[in-house]
Structure 1
Amino acid sequence: MNIALSGSVEPGFEPVAEAFAAGFEGRDAMGAALHVVIEGQSVINLWAGVADQRSGRAWFADTPSVIFSCTKGLVSILAARLVQEGRLDYDAPVSTYWPEFAAAGKADVTVGQALAHQAGLSAPRDDLSEDDIVDWDRMVSVLAAQEPLWQPGSGYAYHALTHGWVAGEIVRRVSGLSVGRYFEELITKPLGVDAWIGLPDAVDDRAAHLQVSPPLSALWAGEAKKPAPNWPFKAMTLGGALPADLVTADGGFNKQRIRAAEIPGAGGLASAEALATIWSATVVPTRGVRLLEPAVVAAATRTRSAGVSVFGGEPPYSRWGCGFQLDSEARRYISDGCFGHDGAGGQVGFADPLRRIGFGYVTNWMMGPEDLRATRILDALRPLL
């Protein structure tokens, strides 16, 4: 398959373009985009394929796609900015800012622990519905009242979706704005990028339509058959609020009702350009904006969680700072010191403070552990730097 690439590549970065193109091999229904910013300047801006196979709509430079857990990284930028401004303290109890969170033995859970997946709230004890997850007040009330699944701070387990409501409510209590509104005011408007936590109806027709590869569907089908309580599986579905694959043809995160809601654990949408530009602005002035200073980046990216989770699991394992996913065997970036977040199906966004890089890759063809698309792009990029 010879995919027709659109966009631009600075001289010397052609191997990265070749690696990007190779990701389309055998995947006629796929669309994707790649953007890399170095020292605040774009060096790679590529897109190709189809945004919606149903209509044949092509992928464009500004096509937004659901970025799933990459959204956690963006919310973590918001929290870090509040720390930088002296309005939030990673070492303070969450209940300092959100008193109701102290219920059921969570009074001493710190902001840093909550952001590092240590709060014991990785999944809801009770099954939730779609109506629940589009209702912000309902979700934060459920999590504030819930007894932890394990002793907070004694270990971690990935808060696949609940992380967003916990982190987002902390941001809301401190900033006075919803997480989507604060994201818009602090980041997307100043940078002039296409990214949202809560997609406006007016731009819904631009969004990519998501499809799930057969191996990923098979993986989740196997998880669904495991005996209850399967807390890691419930962390993804919330007990029925979302399909196991996260999307169906017209449901889950393919549904505008879900995308329009502020679901900051997984529901953000962005173009690749937006992701790369935002992450660049965390480490170097970009379009006149510098979001974070080195001292707060250092504090936010200190390893807080790593290794085997409280529910077990096989390697490779991820590594976490204060909401940021750090370079690890599970997600290799350029090198140690990089921080960002990947997302279900193949999305990747991160910053490299040493090389002053912002990186964004988004796709609507969702793959599982067999996915090497972004990995091969990064393998091609690394020796060129």
Structure 2
Amino acid sequence: MTEGYVAPGLERVREVFEAGLAEELGAGFAAIRDGEVVVDIWGGWANREQTRPWTKDTIVPVYSTTKGVSALIVAIASDHGLLDYDAPTASLWPAFGTHGKERITIAQTLAHMAGVPGFLEPIDPDLWLDPPACAEAIAALAPLWPPASASGYHPLTWGYIVGEIVQRAAGRSLGTILREDICAPLGIDFRIGTPESEYARAAEMKKPSRAGEFGEITPPRKAAFFTKWAAPVRGSARWRKIEIPSANGHGTALGVARLYEAYATGGMIGGVRVLSQEGFDALTRRRWKGDDLVLPFNIDWRTGVIGNSNKIYGSNPEALGHSGSGGSVGFGDPVAGVSVGYVMNRQSHYIMGDPRSLRLIDALYSCL
């Protein structure tokens, strides 16, 4: 059963969502147009035993959909003069400037060009649960390709690098800035670093039945995804509590849509300007476009967010978004004036462009 609100004229979105619940455990979908919530619906179950209904307040980890939110916080820090996108990452973090990484800029690092998508040599997976120690280990890595010569998606390491950049530049953690400066004052249900008080309303995740199709497992792909130590055990209290700006944001579909509204409006959220037009232009500037060395796609990398060249974030190429492991999506479309959040707890094997979200996005755009 589907609950929530759909604006008049958008009933097709509810119909598609209800039909799609057969493929879900639980899910939520939200859309904002010109500052107004036009869709906020949810349904299904928040736990694998199907005893706890998904409600308006159910939150869920959105994995890499977190990255577009984190990129926004970095942009805000840049807008405030706390960091310079064109400066070397090592200018803020000298330890990062090893093995040829001394010249790569912060913007290039945000565009996944640093060459350190993971650890080829074994590590204790619990290292991921100690962000300062993990950041130190990432800084010491030799790049797997010449830095700034190509992009290769950094599924987890990106967040530890970005977190270190923001902490050093701003004197506060990225999750703290998100909470204190954006989500708390604007009433947005999303956080990076989730306190214990929120765990009871967090949905349980169901893992996909098979892995995504990456093609040949090259060293960059192996380091990023295909080792026993490529990620920590997710879902523990410790994993929820720490900040991983690449991977452990928790929120509702509406929370995701509200944060990605900044990408649809040139830096406004709920009618409040959080980023100047100049800052928005820098955030959304293309940093690299080409075949990614980790993802099996041609990717249009902006400054931590993805341009819509593959048309998975609506029909307009001007849209900007990010996808998360298993299917979650957040994007903003400045042409349509629309932002979207889709969250779920049954993960699929699709790397990007999950059919569940595509059907909902298509239904939304057919009504606009």
How high is the TM-score relative to the length of structure 1? 0.88
Deviations 1:257-293 (A, max 9, x none): 2122211111111111111111224526444532223
Counterpart AA for 1:255:
S
Aligned residue for 1:47, secondary structure, equals strand
Residue 302 (str. 1) matches residue 285 (str. 2): yes
Residue 96 (str. 1) matches residue 96 (str. 2): no
RMSD (CA atoms):
2.2
Identity of aligned residues (%): 35
The 8 Å contact of residues 15 and 380 in structure 1, kept in 2 or not, is answered as yes
Deviations 1:98-127 (A, max 9, x none): 122112221101011100010011112432
**CA distance in 2 between partners of 1:333 and 1:128 (Å):** 39
**CA distance in 2 between partners of 1:66 and 1:141 (Å):** 25
Deviations 1:189-219 (A, max 9, x none): 12112211111111111111000232xx254
Deviation of 1:382 after TM superposition, in Å, equals 1.7
Deviation of 1:21 after TM superposition, in Å, equals 1.9
Please name the residue that 1:264 is paired with. 245
Residue 242 (str. 1) matches residue 231 (str. 2): yes
Please name the residue that 1:382 is paired with. 365
The 8 Å contact of residues 339 and 351 in structure 1, kept in 2 or not, is answered as yes
Residue 187 (str. 1) matches residue 176 (str. 2): no
**CA distance in 1 between partners of 2:125 and 2:357 (Å):** 31
**CA distance in 2 between partners of 1:309 and 1:6 (Å):** 39
Mark the CA change 1:81 to 1:350 in structure 2 (over 3 Å): closer, same or farther: same
**CA distance in 2 between partners of 1:326 and 1:148 (Å):** 25
**CA distance in 2 between partners of 1:237 and 1:258 (Å):** 20
Please name the residue that 1:328 is paired with. 309
| Structure 1 residue ranges without an equivalent (≥5) | 244-251
Please name the residue that 1:200 is paired with. 195
**CA distance in 2 between partners of 1:190 and 1:340 (Å):** 23
Deviation of 1:357 after TM superposition, in Å, equals 2.1
Which of 4, 10, 15 is the aligned partner of 1:18?
15
Deviations 1:12-63 (A, max 9, x none): 1111222222222244xx1000111112111111000001122511111121
Deviations 1:278-335 (A, max 9, x none): 1224526444532223332222222222221236x64x43321010111022733341
Aligned residue for 2:146, secondary structure, equals coil
Aligned residue for 1:89, secondary structure, equals coil
The 8 Å contact of residues 83 and 89 in structure 1, kept in 2 or not, is answered as yes
Deviations 1:120-145 (A, max 9, x none): 11112432323211111101111111
Please name the residue that 1:109 is paired with. 104
Deviation of 1:184 after TM superposition, in Å, equals 0.8
Residue 373 (str. 1) matches residue 341 (str. 2): no
**CA distance in 1 between partners of 2:71 and 2:243 (Å):** 15
**CA distance in 1 between partners of 2:321 and 2:92 (Å):** 25
The 8 Å contact of residues 327 and 339 in structure 1, kept in 2 or not, is answered as yes
Mark the CA change 1:183 to 1:303 in structure 2 (over 3 Å): closer, same or farther: same
The 8 Å contact of residues 313 and 331 in structure 2, kept in 1 or not, is answered as no
**CA distance in 1 between partners of 2:363 and 2:275 (Å):** 28
Mark the CA change 1:219 to 1:288 in structure 2 (over 3 Å): closer, same or farther: closer
Please name the residue that 1:347 is paired with. 328
Please name the residue that 1:36 is paired with. 31
The 8 Å contact of residues 72 and 266 in structure 1, kept in 2 or not, is answered as yes
How high is the TM-score relative to the length of structure 2? 0.92
Deviations 1:77-111 (A, max 9, x none): 01111122222221111112112211222110101
Alignment of 1:67-216 (within 5 A): 67-214=62-209
Aligned residue for 2:97, secondary structure, equals helix
Count of residue pairs the alignment pairs up:
364
Query: Which deviates more from structure 2 when the two are superposed, residues 173-182 or residues 333-342?
Result: 333-342
Residue 274 (str. 1) matches residue 271 (str. 2): no
The 8 Å contact of residues 128 and 231 in structure 2, kept in 1 or not, is answered as no
Aligned residue for 2:84, secondary structure, equals coil
| Structure 2 residue ranges without an equivalent (≥5) | none
